Structure formats: C-alpha cells, structure tokens
Structure 1
Amino acid sequence: MFKLPSDFREQGTRLFTPVLDLFVRSGVSPNAVTTFGFLVTMSAGLAFFYGNLQIGGALVLLGGFFDVVDGYVARQTERVTRFGSFYDSTLDRISEVMVFLGVFSLYNGNEPNIGEPWMVYVVALALAGSLMVSYTRARAEGMGIDCRVGLMQRAERVLLLGIATLFFGSWREGLVLTWVMLLMAVLTNLTLIYRIHWVYQHTRAPAAPAPRGPARRADRTPAKR
C-alpha cells in the first residue's frame, strides 16, 4: 500500500498549523475560502494564457494553499458538510481544467518561445489523467473504499506545476515546464491504472459455493418408520 504522498501532506498541514489557525479564529466560512481559492486558481489559468508563467505559478501555489485552508477550517469548526465536499471537489475540477488550458495555450503558438507544438497532446494527456485520478477516488469513496493512493494526486500536481513555473518560468524555452508536463502525463495515468487495480483488489469477493441441486431419485432411500 503506497500512501507516502498523503503522509507528506499531513506533515505539511502541521507545518502551517499556526497560519491555518488564524483562519479558524477569523470565523470565515469554509465555502467562502473555497470560492476565493477557486478564483485565485482560475486567475492562474489566465496568467498562463497571457504568457505570465511566474505569476501563474505563484497563483497556482496560492490557490493550492487555500485548498488546504478550506478543509482545515471545516474540520476544526465542525462545519464539514456533504455540500461543502461536493462544492470543493467541483470547483477544484473546473479550476484545474482552466489551468491546463492556460498551459495548453503556451504550446499552441500563443507563446512562441515555449516548447514544441506537439506538447499540446502531452498537456491534454496530463489533463485527462489528472481528472481521472480525481474521478477514481470519488467513485471509490462512494463505494466505501479509501483510494488516496498513488504518486500524482492533486497536491503533487499543484506543487510540481507551481514550483516549475514560479522559479523557472520560460527559462530555456520552458524546459522545466515541458519536463513537468511529461512527468505529469505519465504519472497521472499510471496512478489511474494503480487505482483501478487498488479498487479491484478491495472489491474482490470469494466465489460463492455453487448451490447444491436436488438429489437424484436413484440416490433417495425411503425413510425408516
């Protein structure tokens, strides 16, 4: 069972606990934090679209931070709701699509100094893998199975993309971003395959014994009276 990324996220949350507690004491609604984080991440997609890679990277990381804040506030203030979980997950998917579309535009001729045109297919594959990683977890949890396994979950995707663009930008025609997209395209889809296997292992049930048919007449003996 591979859950190392989840362990790192828990350690990261503990590291930022003093800052997170400020949001708890402020009394802010978890859904308000979710909405603000969504707007920040959507802005990251626009920044990428206009070729501002470092600004986009900073906004990706900031949006990821607020994605941690809303869940922490909800748990600490006992305001975890089914709608809140649905709302957070839905906005996460929308904003993630927006960010990938922004990156997609960098390789689609919008930024002539970034990579090669064929990278649009890699970005599309990374987007598809990212959405499917999230989808498989949601479906598994709907079946009562903890599916927080694999290497390329949302936190890892946010950190990779945010750090690559914030610190390296378009350096050497976006070399670092290109390698991050290639890595993400491979690992998200490997994580998808691993999660399918994980759920299969947890849903396997031993075959039920075949029902015994009625005994043949030749084998029947009259009961003794």
Structure 2
Amino acid sequence: MFSGLRGAMQGFWAPLARVLLRWGVSPDAVTIAGTVVVSVLALTLLPTGHVLLGGVLIGLFALADSLDGVMARTSGRTGPWGAFLDSTLDRVSDGAVFVGITLWFVLHPDVPYATWGAVASLACLALGAVVPYARARAESVGATAAVGIAERTDRLVVALVAVAFTQVGLPELVTVVVLTLLAVASAVTVVQRVVTVRRQLVGVGAGGGTPDPEA
C-alpha cells in the first residue's frame, strides 16, 4: 500500500543523505539512531496517552526509514551487513510501537474496550514478529516467501493512525477493530508463507524432512 510512497521518499532523502555522508555519518549510525528514537518515542509518548503526538512523530521517522539505504547506495556501502542490521532493528522498533500501544490500553483501563485492545495489540506484536521470520527462514532453506496481504510499513502506519486519531475523536472501538484486523492479516500472511514454502520445497522433493532442532 505504502511501497510507492516509500520509493518516492528515497528520492526526497537523497540530498540529506549526501550531506550526512559529507559530515562523516555512516548509514549504520542512522539505522541505529532511528531505532533508538522510535523506540523511545513509542515507549514514552504512547503509554502516557500522548498518542497523537507519538503517532505523528513515529510516522515521520517511519517515512525516514529509507534514509540509511539511500546513504548506503550513494556511498557504495550496500551489502549483507547493512541489510541484516536494518532488518533486525526494524523488528526492535516495530516491537516497541506495539508494546507502547499495549501499555496505553493497560495503563488506561477507562478507555473503552481496553482489554480487547491490549489483546489485539499483543497479537499484532507476536504475529508481526513471525511474518518476517517466516520469510527469512524460507530463504535460509532455499525457498522464497515474499507473499502477504500487508507489508510491514502498512501494518505500522495503519496501527499508528488508528491509535493517534482517538485523541481527536475517533471512537476507541474503531481502533480496537483495526488492531484486530491487522492481527488477522498478519496471521493470514503467516499461513500464506507457510503454504507457499511447502509448495516450493515439496516441488523439489524437500518436503516432509526432519525439522531443524535449532529452528
């Protein structure tokens, strides 16, 4: 849904990327700094009820998520390390956002449907971690699992918008329903990836093997 916007933002960040590189800032430093800032915002503003401000600020940093990649390509530093670091820290920031949303419901029990909202947010947290794991694990066994009904950015932005707008009149029930639907979408994506990988592996005679004890 937002992949086109992210592509447009890459061109937008190109001038800033060149400036930061001239100042000696590395793409890794930007990746780490972005994760720290998003995590701090999510774990301080969201639980304390500043959901509109938190949603806006986190959303802005989400749009800047491609800055480190632009810097890496501009400086010729693209490689597996940068991809690994970026993907790993994405899980940290995503987790912080959904923990923050969960804490908002838990610390504000007067919010309508708070229990349901906390459960839905925890489901988004857990299933949102399984979605990228399924893809990474598929690639490690020689398959591909780039399927799903909602990408990472889509899930993050939709959740933040739903929560943030409660502060300007959006009914909490709508937010809870949105989080529930995101959890369902994540579960469907996991199933899609499992089915896709099984078809590929069975097709090359790799199905039905002994599970990896380290998985």
TM-score range, shorter chain: 0.7 to 0.9
Give the letter for the 2:82 counterpart. G
- The answer as to whether partners of 1:34 and 1:66 remain within 8 angstroms in 2 is no
* Equivalent position to 1:44, from 42, 45, 52: 42
- The answer as to whether partners of 2:150 and 2:186 remain within 8 angstroms in 1 is yes
| Comparing 183-192 and 52-61, the one that deviates more | 52-61
Change (3 A) 1:24 1:183: same
Question: Which consecutive residues of structure 1, in runs of 5 or more, have no partner in the other structure?
Answer: 209-225
Q: Which has the larger radius of gyration?
A: 1
Shift of 1:172: 4.8
Give the letter for the 2:55 counterpart. G
- The answer as to whether partners of 1:56 and 1:165 remain within 8 angstroms in 2 is no
Taking the aligned partners of 2:62 and 2:112, their CA distance within structure 1 comes to 25
Q: Is 2:13 the partner of 1:20?
A: yes
Q: Deviations over 1:181-216 (max 9, x none)?
A: 1111110011011011111122123559xxxxxxxx
Taking the aligned partners of 1:174 and 1:124, their CA distance within structure 2 comes to 17
Shift of 1:114: 4.6
Counterpart for residue 81 of structure 1: 79
Taking the aligned partners of 2:66 and 2:171, their CA distance within structure 1 comes to 32
- The answer as to whether partners of 1:107 and 1:116 remain within 8 angstroms in 2 is yes
SS at match of 2:115: coil
Give the letter for the 1:62 counterpart. L
Counterpart for residue 26 of structure 2: 29
Give the letter for the 1:117 counterpart. T
Change (3 A) 1:76 1:199: farther
1:112-123 counterparts in 2 under 5 A? 112-123=110-121
Give the letter for the 1:169 counterpart. Q
Q: Deviations over 1:114-163 (max 9, x none)?
A: 53323322221111110000111111222343322211221111221232
Taking the aligned partners of 2:156 and 2:204, their CA distance within structure 1 comes to 40
1:25-174 counterparts in 2 under 5 A? 25-26=18-19, 27=21, 28-42=25-39, 43-110=41-108, 112-169=110-167, 171-174=169-172
- The answer as to whether partners of 2:51 and 2:167 remain within 8 angstroms in 1 is yes
TM-score by length of 1: 0.78
Give the letter for the 2:17 counterpart. V
Change (3 A) 1:146 1:173: same
Question: Which consecutive residues of structure 2, in runs of 5 or more, have no partner in the other structure?
Answer: 207-215
The count of residues paired between Structure 1 and Structure 2 equals 201
1:191-210 counterparts in 2 under 5 A? 191-205=189-203
SS at match of 1:49: coil
* Residue identity (%): 30
Aligned-residue CA RMSD (Å): 2.3
- The answer as to whether partners of 1:38 and 1:63 remain within 8 angstroms in 2 is no
- The answer as to whether partners of 2:148 and 2:193 remain within 8 angstroms in 1 is yes
Counterpart for residue 185 of structure 2: 187
Taking the aligned partners of 1:59 and 1:12, their CA distance within structure 2 comes to 17
Give the letter for the 1:186 counterpart. V
- The answer as to whether partners of 1:106 and 1:114 remain within 8 angstroms in 2 is no
